[in-house]
Structure 1
Amino acid sequence: MDGDANMAGGDDGAAMELDDMKKRLKEMEDEAVALREMQAKVEKEMGSVQDPAAAAASQANREEVDSRSVFVGNVDYSCTPEEVQQHFQGCGTVNRVTIRTTKYGQPKGYAYVEFLEPEAVQEALLLNESELHGRQLKISAKRTNVPGMKVFRPPRPNPYMGFRPRSAYMPTYFYPPYGYGKVPRFRMPMRYSPYY
């Protein structure tokens, strides 16, 4: 008789546990529906990016901004945006100075200067090879990046193969068996000598 009571109590515990799991599953499903609705709302707000007309408008806006900007190369690593702005102040009104950095925050050595008026770009190009912090700046008009267009980079020469391009038959890393510039040495084979 006691065994039957234990079985019934065990069934009640399992049923309660099953009900709790069903409640948690229902809560998780409701939460997932709410997240999907929020994501759809955000995508709707950001949907202008996927709209072809809006994408063309943003591309045209980017080209218009790039037509008012210059690329400045060979910028000293200790240069601040204020110093670059001051250097280009005579060309026109500087809207923004962007000094590119690595993911660690170290400057890459080049910058972009955006002006308010497009005529200032021609004035800025006259400052090519001017000095800032003792370095000659390389100034050119900023080009517009075209999405999906890759820049062709020719293959680098391999020091072990000369300037020949890689072929399907040549391994990527080819090392001479005895090291670079070494000639194989021929030695007498080692022999066992008990009296030596």
Structure 2
Amino acid sequence: MQELLTTLRRLRAPDGCPWDREQTHESLRPYLLEEAAEAVDAVTEGPEALAAELGDVLLQVAFHSVIAEEAGTFGYADVERGIVEKLVRRHPHVFGDVQVADAGEVVVNWQAIKAAERGGQPRRAADRVPTALGALARETAAQKLAGTAKGGRGGVRAALENAPDSAEGVAGVLAAAVAWARSLGVDAEVALREHTQARLLALPDPEEE
């Protein structure tokens, strides 16, 4: 990690790379999303691909850390320390004397500890679902927060029959499809990503000019 940070500091130096020197937290946002998405794809592509893509994600963490280091706001050590402290704090059944019966209790405790970290103040639903998530993933999270019942194939059929020919109608059908996916234990975001990737791979290669 220190070698990676040193490399980035060199790239950001006055005589370093012009492109790297121009980057900011804001300009790097699409790259962080892209690299995270590619790492998700690599899970099914084998260990070598996953290791490579996780390296690209780590690059983004280091990049942001070096930019913040230059501004004097935080450094990589703060990032690392913060996540270690959080993991220890939120796993009292491992690092403390709390007893849990199963994974369900772990989740309940995790949520309680998160709430305590905020001083007991609940967060708005809109603040609990990242806006940068894929649309299907956000709808899945929204349905869970709202306690929306899991739907079935019939719900999708009804949504299709009653939907107006508009963006709102399409959104309603997609929301019904997400509810159907939840009833099957299927992650709608991942399912559609894999479906789209299979279609793209099946397309013929462009003819060489």
TM-score class, shorter: under 0.3
Structure with more relative contact order (C-alpha pairs < 8 Å, separation 6 or more): 1
What is the TM-score of this pair, normalised by structure 1?
A: 0.21
Higher strand share: 1
The structure that has the greater radius of gyration is 1
Higher helix share: 2
What is the TM-score of this pair, normalised by structure 2?
A: 0.21
